[in-house]
C-alpha cells in the first residue's frame, strides 16, 4: 500500500485510478468540453474514495491537478500547429489564475457535503448544456486542424477594450473552475468567443492553456492543504493521455452529434446519482 497523510491507497485502487483516467481522457478526446467533470465521481465511487474523511476535497484537488497536467500536455500540439492566440490566452489565463485560486480557497472551506451537492447540480446543468450545444462538442479536441490557420487569420484584432472583457471573462470562469475543481473547457471556449471575438477553432487550442493553468493552480492549492493524492493524480494523467489518443482517433469515425447527446445524458444521470447520494447523507 502507498500511504499519503491519513490516506491509504491499495494496488487495486491505483489500477482503478488509471482506468478512470483512461475513461476521462477518452471522453475528452471523443466529445470535447465537459469530459473532465466525470473525474470526480469516478474517483469517489469507482475508485472507492467516497468513504475517506474529507473525500470531497481530496477528489476535487486530486482530479484538478491531473486535468491541469493533461491539458498542458495536450496544448503542446496546438502550440506547434499555431492553434493558439498568445495575447488572448495570456490575458484570459492570467486573470483566470486569480479567480481559480480564490475559487479553490472557497471550495476548500466549503463543507464537503455542500460542495458535492453543488457539484452534482453543476453536472446536471453541464450535461444538458453538452446535449444541446454544438460548441461544447469541439472544446479541447483536435478536429479540423487543416482549417485552423485560415480561421486564425479571420479572427478579430486585440485591443485594450477587448483585453478588459477577456480578463473579466477569465476571472469568472477561473473562479468556477477553481471552486468546483473542473477543467472548465466547456465554459472557456464560449467565454473566449464571446469576450474576444476569436473564432471557435482558435478558441479550442487557446482554451487548453487556461484549462491547464486553472487545473494546476487548483490542484497545487489543494495540495498545500493536504488534499491531493499525488500518485492518483499521476495515474489519472497517464490514463488520460492514453484515453485521449484513443478518443481522438475514434472521433473522426463516429457521428459526434449523437455522441454528444448520449454523453450529456450520462453526465446528467451521474449528476442525479451524486445528488441523491449527497442528499441521503444529510
Per-residue pLDDT at 192: 85
Separation in Å, CA 33 to CA 188, 208, 233? 9, 10, 20
Per-residue pLDDT at 68: 87
pLDDT averaged over 10-residue windows placed end to end, the chain, 282 residues? 63 94 80 72 92 89 90 76 81 93 93 90 84 56 44 54 89 91 76 79 79 90 92 93 80 69 83 88 74
DSSP code string of the chain: -EEETTEEE-HHHHHHHHHHHHHHHHHHHHT-TTGGGGHHHIIIIIS--TTSTTHHHHHHHHHHHHHHHHHHHHHHHHHHTT---HHHHHHHHHHHHHHHHHHHHHHHHS-HHHHHHHHHHHHHHHHHHHHH-TGGGGTT--TTGGGHHHHHHTS----HHHHHHHHHHHHHHHHHHHHHT---HHHHHHHHHHHH---HHHHHHHHHHHHHHHHHHHHHHHHHTT---HHHHHHHHHHHHHHHHHHHHHHTTS-HHHHHHHHHHHHHHHHHHHHHHHHHT-
Per-residue pLDDT at 201: 67
Per-residue pLDDT at 14: 94
Amino acid at each position: 500500500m502507498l500511504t499519503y497523510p491519513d490516506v491509504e491507497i491499495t494496488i487495486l485502487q491505483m489500477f482503478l485510478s488509471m482506468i478512470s483516467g483512461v475513461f476521462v481522457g477518452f471522453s475528452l478526446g471523443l466529445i470535447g468540453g465537459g469530459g473532465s467533470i466525470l473525474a470526480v465521481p469516478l474517483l469517489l465511487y469507482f475508485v472507492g474514495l467516497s468513504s475517506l474523511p474529507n473525500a470531497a476535497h481530496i477528489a476535487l484537488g486530486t482530479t484538478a491537478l491531473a486535468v491541469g497536467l493533461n491539458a498542458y500536455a495536450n496544448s503542446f500540439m496546438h502550440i506547434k500547429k499555431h492553434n493558439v492566440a498568445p495575447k488572448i490566452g495570456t490575458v484570459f489565463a492570467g486573470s483566470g489564475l486569480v479567480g481559480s485560486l480564490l475559487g479553490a480557497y472557497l471550495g476548500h472551506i466549503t463543507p464537503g457535503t455542500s460542495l458535492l451537492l453543488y457539484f452534482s447540480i453543476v453536472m446536471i446543468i453541464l450535461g444538458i448544456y453538452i446535449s444541446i450545444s454544438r460548441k461544447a462538442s469541439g472544446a479541447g479536441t483536435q478536429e479540423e486542424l487543416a482549417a485552423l490557420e485560415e480561421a486564425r487569420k479571420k479572427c478579430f484584432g486585440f485591443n485594450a477594450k477587448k483585453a478588459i472583457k477577456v480578463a473579466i471573462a477569465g476571472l469568472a470562469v477561473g473562479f468556477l473552475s477553481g471552486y468546483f475543481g473542473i477543467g472548465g473547457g466547456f465554459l472557456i471556449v464560449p467565454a473566449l468567443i464571446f469576450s474576444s471575438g476569436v473564432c471557435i477553432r482558435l478558441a479550442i487550442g487557446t482554451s487548453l492553456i487556461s484549462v491547464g493553468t486553472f487545473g494546476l493552480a487548483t490542484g497545487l492549492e489543494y495540495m498545500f492543504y493536504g488534499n491531493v493524492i499525488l500518485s492518483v493524480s499521476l495515474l489519472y494523467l497517464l490514463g488520460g493521455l492514453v484515453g485521449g489518443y484513443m478518443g481522438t482517433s475514434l472521433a473522426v469515425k463516429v457521428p459526434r452529434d449523437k455522441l454528444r447527446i448520449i454523453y450529456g445524458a450520462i453526465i446528467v444521470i451521474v449528476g442525479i446519482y451524486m445528488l441523491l447520494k449527497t442528499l441521503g447523507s444529510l
